[in-house]
Amino acid sequence: MEVRKLIVSRHPAAVEFVHSLPEWADAEVSTGNVDTVTVQDREVCGPLPLALIAQCARYWAIEFTGTPPRGQEYDLAIMLEAGAGLVEYRVSSVPIVKDEISWSNRQANRDREAFCLLIRGGDLYEFVGKAIPGVCQARVTENHRQGKWSFTTYAIRLAPGVRMVAGHTGWQTGSFAEGLAAAIGTSEWTLQALAAALHVSPAALCALAEHNGSTKTVQAWLAELDDVTSRPAAPPPGLQADGSMAAALRQAGLD
């Protein structure tokens, strides 16, 4: 069965160029938005997001051997002079496998930043988009370009025994401590309570908060450290902090 051809473009010169090719002379034209139903199992030429390209039977893009023309004013002659031609691309989606976890760093309402913590034994790690030896493997599944709201989705495979805690900074205060408490289902935001709930040392949380620049959390936890007689042990290797939190630990003689 012959696959129907579709040109997706709002630019008259681009449509004219593709129609000038004998095999595309009778192709249907869409100048508006298209969806999966429109492109599925069809041969398509024109700008599309990757998710829709993956649904096409075949996909073609207009490319140039010379400097591509810009703007709405160019015509077919300018396109031909720039070496216009069709290039076929093949795109397929890669599904999340059974033992992978999908996570994105997309911001939430009120500009609340996403976080993803990985815990192995008593060690605490922050996932920042790259594999961590002995802790996790990771790959990018989608990049979403939306200006200020751009974000990336990852597929993360945890090593045996590794736990993940993910969430966003807090709704009320915007702090890391509040968001972490919400992520693990507790109303206690204190350093000691969160460290106990996560089964990590208070020092690891201290160092992580300071490394992230979580100012509100650092200030709250510094005040808490000033009020207790038993201070946490020094930050573990790999999460050393050199700011006020580490200074408080050193003053306690625990570095």
Torsional sign, CA 248, 250, 253, 254: positive
pLDDT (0 to 100) of residue 232: 46
pLDDT at 189: 84
Mean pLDDT (whole number) for 225-246: 49
Task: Kindly list the domain boundaries of the chain, sorted by start residue.
Answer: 5-89, 101-251
pLDDT at 87 over 50: yes
User: Mean pLDDT over residues 172-191, rounded?
Assistant: 89
Q: Are 222 and 252 in contact (CB under 8 A)?
A: no
Provide DSSP, 117-144.
EEEETTEEEE--SS-BTTTEEEEEEEEE
CB atoms within 10 A of CB 71: 7
Return all residues near 187 (Cβ < 8 A) that are at least 6 apart: 181
CB 171 within 8 A of CB 183: no
Residue 237's pLDDT band (boundaries 50, 70, 90)?
very low
Question: How far apart (Å, rounded) are the C-alpha atoms in residues 195 and 184?
Answer: 11
